[in-house]
Amino acid sequence: MTIQSHVQLGKSGVTENFIKTLQDHFRKHDMVKVSVLKNAGREREKIHGFAEEILKILGKNYTAKTIGFTIFLKKWRKPVR
């Protein structure tokens, strides 16, 4: 079992299919790296907005960290405070 997986976020943004893809990756991996493509928007505020939107949908067991144009999502066993 690998620890990290990789997904790309494109011009469609955060959609139902994107969230389903993330959930599928979290079944096998503890951490998912989301690369934000140029056509999705490369402003820092927009990338932080994507991260917040993803966390809101996934729930309290997940955390996010943004570095550059990448969002690192981590799944925890217990809800994060």
2-29 pLDDT, tens digit per residue, is 578 999 999 999 999 999 999 999 999 9
Domain spans of the chain, in order of start: 4-75
Predicted pLDDT of residue 77? 83
pLDDT band at 1, cuts 50/70/90?
very low
For residues 55 and 39, give the distance between their C-alpha atoms in angstroms, rounded to a whole number. Answer: 22
Which pTM was predicted?
0.91
Task: Please give the single-letter amino acid code of residue 64.
Answer: A
pLDDT digits (tens, 9 = 90+) for 29-77: 999 999 999 999 889 999 999 999 999 999 999 999 999 999 999 999 8
CATH of 4-75, one of 3.30.110.60, 3.40.190.150, 3.60.15.10, 1.10.730.10: 3.30.110.60
Other C-beta atoms closer than 10 Å to the C-beta of 33 total 16
